[in-house]
Amino acid sequence: MPYGSAAVAARGLRLPPLPTIRDLVKLYKLQAIKQMSQNFLMDERLTDKIVKSAGRITNNDVVLEVGPGPGGITRSILRRNPSKIILVEKDRRFLPTLELLQECAKPLGVQMDIHQADILRFPMEEHVPDISQKLHLIGNLPFAISTRLLINWFKDLSLRQGAFRRNDTTMTLTFQKEVAERICAPLGSDQRCRLSIMSQIWTEPKLKFIIPGKAFVPKPDVDVGVVTLIPLKQPKTDIPFDVVERVNRHIFSMRQKYCRRGYSRLFPEEQRDETTYEMFEEAEVESTLRPFQLSVEECLRLTEVYWQFIQKNPEVAKYDHRGPKAIKQEEEVFVDY
């Protein structure tokens, strides 16, 4: 239970004596696997700072941590004394170190569930059934899945499903520094891309701080940004997610060209120029702007007129300008985020 100085109280619960994360990594011979883009964060000051970025966590809240690895961030979450911690870890090598924390959590009154699972396929509603409790999503994400996972969660947020059945589920996640900057990039920024637009339609993203690569073991080639994403109480659109994603994918497919160039490829060649002109006129968007010069609102107006158009012309919704040479769409969706 809580005890000790005011400084300790400010950090939360004091945990029972435990081996350091560095010692556990050595003890269990836990080498990071490059193919799984694993990097361990050993510094408790940094893990505490990540968890603090998630905002206030009460003893009635639930925290789901993605990819806890040996449990560095998990310790910092445990000190905040939530009602429940759900750990989703794909690599079974980390189970012994996480089970050690699970034993420490019991006398503190914190329930800790450990799932060896792929977060991309994790049945959230099955394992987080009670929406009376606020949920925080926290994770030092593997770079290989970070963007894909975020887009999946935006779709869930748009549908109010999975982790987002409540409208106050927060996300505090790590990304490569460049990706973190793209998520939060403002209008006119060189970093602005479709990930910026998608993030800012459904959430208010904030780049909290940068962690130098040297803080991780092994050291990645890039620095890491910690981003908190807070769902908007009123999303900026109710157009189906897949339509919003499709339109913005096309707009930003030629980000150094006029925005009409990528957008025009939504339409068959024989009607492309005329339809594109009409869409921009109706949306009241300047067609000679570059994609990164478009506001969220302008992107959504272009999405709205396209949505109305395909409702009247449903055959156009299936049009793919790449034709028979198309690569798998699932892979292309994420290639330039």
Query: What confidence score (pLDDT) does residue 1 get?
Result: 37
Statement to judge: residues 301 and 221 lie in one domain:
no
Q: What is the CATH number of the domain that holds 189?
A: 3.40.50.150
Q: Is the dihedral of CA 157, 159, 163, 165 positive or negative?
A: positive
Q: Which residues contact 47 (CB under 8 A, 6 or more apart)?
A: 41, 72, 73, 75, 76
Statement to judge: residues 156 and 79 lie in one domain:
yes
Closest CA to 268 of 330, 332, 326, 315: 315
Statement to judge: residues 138 and 257 lie in one domain:
no
Q: With a cut of 80, say whether residue 29 has pLDDT above it.
A: no
pTM of the predicted model as reported, rounded to 2 decimal places: 0.89
List b or e across 232-263, with b for residues whose CB sees 16 or more CB atoms inside 10 angstroms: eeebebebebebbbbbbbbbbbbbeebbbbbb
- In this structure, is residue 337 part of a structural domain? no
Q: What is the CATH number of the domain that holds 250?
A: 1.10.8.100
3-class DSSP assignment, residue 230: strand
- In this structure, is residue 309 part of a structural domain? yes
Query: What confidence score (pLDDT) does residue 32 get?
Result: 59
Q: What is the pLDDT of residues 123-144, one digit of tens each?
A: 999 999 889 999 999 999 988 8
3-class DSSP assignment, residue 40: strand
- In this structure, is residue 115 part of a structural domain? yes
Residue after which a domain boundary falls, among 198, 231, 264: 231
In DSSP terms, which residues pair with 229 in a beta bridge? 171, 205
- In this structure, is residue 1 part of a structural domain? no
pLDDT band at 39 (very low <50, low <70, confident <90, very high): confident
3-class DSSP assignment, residue 88: strand
Statement to judge: residues 127 and 221 lie in one domain:
yes
Q: Assess contact for 298 and 283: CB atoms under 8 A.
A: yes
Determine phi and psi for 268, rounding to 5 degrees.
-60, 150
Residue after which a domain boundary falls, among 182, 212, 231: 231
- In this structure, is residue 59 part of a structural domain? yes
Average pLDDT over residues 106-115: 96
Distance (Å, rounded) from C-alpha 57 to C-alpha 183?
24
Statement to judge: residues 199 and 255 lie in one domain:
no
Statement to judge: residues 204 and 256 lie in one domain:
no
Residue after which a domain boundary falls, among 180, 197, 231: 231
Q: What is the pLDDT of residues 44-57, one digit of tens each?
A: 999 999 999 999 99
Distance (Å, rounded) from C-alpha 129 to C-alpha 131?
6
Statement to judge: residues 116 and 222 lie in one domain:
yes
Distance (Å, rounded) from C-alpha 56 to C-alpha 4?
21
Q: How many CA atoms does the CB half-sphere of 236 hold within 13 Å?
A: 19
Statement to judge: residues 286 and 307 lie in one domain:
yes
Q: With a cut of 90, say whether residue 27 has pLDDT above it.
A: no
Range of the domain at 143: 6-231
Average pLDDT over residues 242-266: 96
- In this structure, is residue 118 part of a structural domain? yes
Statement to judge: residues 98 and 195 lie in one domain:
yes
- In this structure, is residue 236 part of a structural domain? no
Q: Which residue has the higher pLDDT, 270 or 323?
A: 270
Q: Which residue has the higher pLDDT, 10 or 280?
A: 280
Q: Count how many domains the chain has.
A: 2
Q: With a cut of 70, say whether residue 324 has pLDDT above it.
A: no
- In this structure, is residue 20 part of a structural domain? yes
What value does the mean pLDDT of the chain take?
89
pLDDT band at 36 (very low <50, low <70, confident <90, very high): low
Statement to judge: residues 260 and 168 lie in one domain:
no
Average pLDDT over residues 245-273: 95
Q: With a cut of 70, say whether residue 275 has pLDDT above it.
A: yes
Statement to judge: residues 83 and 112 lie in one domain:
yes
Name the percent of the chain lying above pLDDT 70: 89
Distance (Å, rounded) from C-alpha 15 to C-alpha 100?
12
Statement to judge: residues 199 and 282 lie in one domain:
no
Q: First and final CA of the chain: distance in angstroms?
A: 45
Query: What confidence score (pLDDT) does residue 326 get?
Result: 41
